[in-house]
Amino acid sequence: MTDLADIADIVRRALAEDIGSGDVTTEACVPADRMAAGYFIARESLVLAGTDVLAAIYTERGGVDELTVRHSDGDRLREGDRIALVRGRARTLLECERVALNFLQRLSGVATLASQFAEVVKGTNCRVLDTRKTTPGLRELEKKAAAAGGVTNHRMGLYDAVLIKNNHISAAGGVRPAIESARACGLALEIEVRTIEELDEALACGATHLLLDNLSPQQAAEWVHRIGGRATVELSGGIDLDSIRSYAETGADFVSAGAITHSAPAKDISFRLELL
């Protein structure tokens, strides 16, 4: 899913943002010819993500002779586990330290929270979806991290699937005109319904994928029963780790949670440098 050129561009901008015209501290303190090794170390239990960014960082900056990534995205690590080893110019390792940690900590945070959501719904027939509530510019990486944690990626953007939401229905003039107009594009089509009347109208129009938003678990169960298998059902709206099991047990096919990407706390990962 992740385009290597896109990763390189994200990394290039992140390094430029941090290093700017030069790392003045490192240049003042560290001889240009000094060599070192650095280790990325998990400081707490986590699900790892973002490892493919490391190669892009050191390729972009140069000055690295070896990069050994010891674990893969999706691996569950314990405190003290070494994630990767990098050897090269000490200046390069220091210049890239914060950018590398920012990516690993953020993306491992997403993967870890995603794994918690996936774990809570085990034993149901419901799958967890991520959303478009991502950090601007980092969507591909964050969705890859969410998948590494065990959830299913929803659409990537506005371009790869039709999702008719309440404002689209209002702008189109109703459920039926929205569905009938959208069918012409030939993409997968999902529609959000806000009332029983909209639900029945969508089903009458042949809708096969429904989004039910901001219902209680009891209401969701009643609506899923009314749908009776005539359409695939996704539930959304403020669903968190405490409530997702109740929603998953309603009989819905999917539950989406924006918190996976918009509220994931960064994980504690450190970088330790040793001279060679």
Q: Which residues are catalytically annotated?
A: 98, 133, 165, 192, 213
Which residues have a Cβ under 8 Å from the Cβ of 136 and sit 6 or more positions away?
Answer: none
Task: Give the pair of three-digit tokens for residue 255.
Answer: 């539950």
In contact, 14 and 99? CB cutoff 8 Å: yes
CA distances from 146 to 72, 106, 161, 225 (A): 14, 11, 19, 30
Strands 254-256 and 46-47: unpaired
Alpha-carbon distances of 62 from 34, 144, 200, rounded to whole Å:
15, 26, 60
